[in-house]
Amino acid sequence: MADKFVGTPIKATTHVNQNEDLIFEKSSSGKKGYRLAQLDVPAIDAASLLGAAVRTDDLGAMPELSEIEIIRHFTRLSTWNYAIDLGMYPLGSCTMKYNPRINEAVARLEGLAEAHPYQPESLSQGALGIMKLLSDCLIEITGMDTITLQPAAGAHGEFTGILLARAYHQSLGNPRTKVLIPDSAHGTNPATAAVCGYQVANLKSNAQGMVDLAELERMVDGDVAALMLTNPSTIGVFESDIHKIADILHAKGALLYMDGANMNALCGKTRPGDFGADVMHLNLHKTFSTPHGGGGPGSGPVACKKILEPFLPTPVVKTNPDGSLGLDYNRPQSVGRVRAWYGNFGMFIRALAYILANGPDGLRQTTEDAVLNANYIRAKLEGTFDLPYKSPSLHEVVFSDKLQAKNGVKTGDMGKRLIDYGFHAYTVSFPLVVNGAMMIEPTESESREELDLLIDALKQIAREAEENPELVQNAPHSTRLQRLDETTAARKPILRWKAPVASTQLTPDSAAKEW
């Protein structure tokens, strides 16, 4: 099979359309993409309607195109993109699973899609029912006591969860100043702790990539508010001493925050609430199949134990004495709102559809399949790539570029070469505890046939790294643009098009300065 790949990756093609002007450059004055019926009421000019709110400053050049030109422009651009509906996205830690179409169908039901957030509670019983049922399911899955659905992403959930921990410690009259974070943590964890006003204390992992209990014991004191722990960790390894970790923290009055972004490895098998976590977030856009990565807004509900309930964001869904549902705004100890309205409601519908379609046994099966897929990849690629941690893998596996780096080929080069084989790259250079990390998370969505294609592609890339390192170092070759200047893109991003000002043409440098 692998021999077929020599020279010509079988899955790769070049883009349908190699060049496309900016929509502004395609504009010609007077064109319109719409037709209006003739006015049959008296015309009112904008100034008399809007008064001082009318904008009279120069809005710059707006593109003028016909409908078909607009449709073709954006359709062509969309063919340059890689998407979960085109192929596998083995991005570790991101859980890029398939977004089932039934979720979309349910979310588009008129009564749900068109519901207005100001609709009276009596007319919103269906929407409130969805929030209540989703909350109950997630509480059952996590083993927690209560939940807020408000946060709009995982990192936003972390922020909310740490605010709860902070409010809890403040309510006890002992605000505490430190949050412990293992060196293998997702970058959002230390950022969250810092944004919530805590000092971050770095906790070293042991040789198996797990929390070092003796080190934890030494570091936890009366000034530690919480430990933020991802379990399974970002190297896909379950913290087998999680009970002891929780006990060490609780003995000193500190809380265990669990980053639950990796629930894909636990769902239906074990519950954080049972193994000692006090507060955690979930990523509906990872574990529960709602779109992400440019496909839609996220959702990061935060589940917690009873002791944190008084501090949950306002409002929370409540059951009235007559059995109807409502929203409770009267919560004097609440940390306040963390988002407008009630959260990303469309995502609640999709996640609930996924949970109900699978049922408890189906969710357990997805977990087992996700773990099986990661271990299949591990077994097939061990030897081809260095495996720095030998502890059993759960839903993802982390290799390193150690063997290929001898020929000057790095993880980033191989990730880019994978594009030529028709795949999205794996996660490159993360987690930071692994030098030259290649982090792969297949999820349960992928078939064995697709996994075999990825495995063959990676083996072939490893052979290329040996025989023709430059081919890999200069990848990708099949894309419209080749290697981009990533440093300049990160340091001087140009995020907005501006009409060239008279004779002074905008260069990337001048645009960056203006921005």
3-state secondary structure of 355: helix
Burial profile 251-279: b = 16 or more Cβ within 10 angstroms, e = fewer: eeebbbbbbbbbbbbbbbeebbbebbbbb
Closer residue to ligand PLP in complex, CB, 144/282: 282
Q: In whole angstroms, how close is the CB of 211 to ligand PLP at the nearest point?
A: 15
Helices 125-142 and 345-381: crossing angle in degrees, nearest 10, is 30
Q: Report yes or no: 432 and 182 within 8 Å, Cβ to Cβ.
A: no
Cis amide leading into 232 (omega within 30): yes
Residue 38 DSSP class: P
Name residues whose C-beta falls within 8 Å of residue 321's C-beta, 6 or more positions apart in sequence.
none
> Where do the H-state alpha helices sit in 154-212?
154-171, 188-195
Closer residue to ligand PLP in complex, CB, 304/461: 304
Name residues whose C-beta falls within 8 Å of residue 295's C-beta, 6 or more positions apart in sequence.
83, 84, 99
Q: In whole angstroms, how close is the CB of 114 to ligand PLP at the nearest point?
A: 27
| Integer Cα distance of 279 and 309 in angstroms | 10
Q: In whole angstroms, how close is the CB of 234 to ligand PLP at the nearest point?
A: 6
Q: In whole angstroms, how close is the CB of 142 to ligand PLP at the nearest point?
A: 15
Closest CA to 302 of 112, 148, 176: 148
Q: In whole angstroms, how close is the CB of 189 to ligand PLP at the nearest point?
A: 7
Closer residue to ligand PLP in complex, CB, 298/315: 298
Closer residue to ligand PLP in complex, CB, 425/457: 425
Q: In whole angstroms, how close is the CB of 484 to ligand PLP at the nearest point?
A: 22
Closer residue to ligand PLP in complex, CB, 421/430: 430
Burial profile 127-162: b = 16 or more Cβ within 10 angstroms, e = fewer: bbebbbebbebbbebbbbebbbbbbbbbbbbbbbbb
Q: Which residues of the shown chain bind ligand PLP in the complex (CB under 6 A)? A: 93, 153-155, 186, 188, 230, 234, 259, 261-262, 283, 298, 300
| Integer Cα distance of 212 and 224 in angstroms | 17
Closer residue to ligand PLP in complex, CB, 9/260: 260
Residue 123 DSSP class: G
Q: Report yes or no: 330 and 167 within 8 Å, Cβ to Cβ.
A: no
Closer residue to ligand PLP in complex, CB, 262/393: 262
Closer residue to ligand PLP in complex, CB, 304/409: 304
3-state helix, strand, coil in the chain (%, to 5): 40, 10, 50
Closer residue to ligand PLP in complex, CB, 103/262: 262
What are the structure tokens assigned to 300, written together?
């990061």
Q: In whole angstroms, how close is the CB of 291 to ligand PLP at the nearest point?
A: 12
Q: In whole angstroms, how close is the CB of 300 to ligand PLP at the nearest point?
A: 6
CA distances from 130 to 126, 211, 289, 318 (A): 6, 38, 17, 13
Closer residue to ligand PLP in complex, CB, 124/290: 290
Q: In whole angstroms, how close is the CB of 187 to ligand PLP at the nearest point?
A: 8
Q: What is 109-122 written as a DSSP string?
A: -HHHHT--TTS-GG
| Integer Cα distance of 106 and 93 in angstroms | 28
Closer residue to ligand PLP in complex, CB, 9/343: 343
- Closest residue to bound ligand PLP by CB: 154
CA atoms 381, 386, 389, 390: torsion sign: positive
Q: In whole angstroms, how close is the CB of 286 to ligand PLP at the nearest point?
A: 6
Q: In whole angstroms, how close is the CB of 154 to ligand PLP at the nearest point?
A: 2
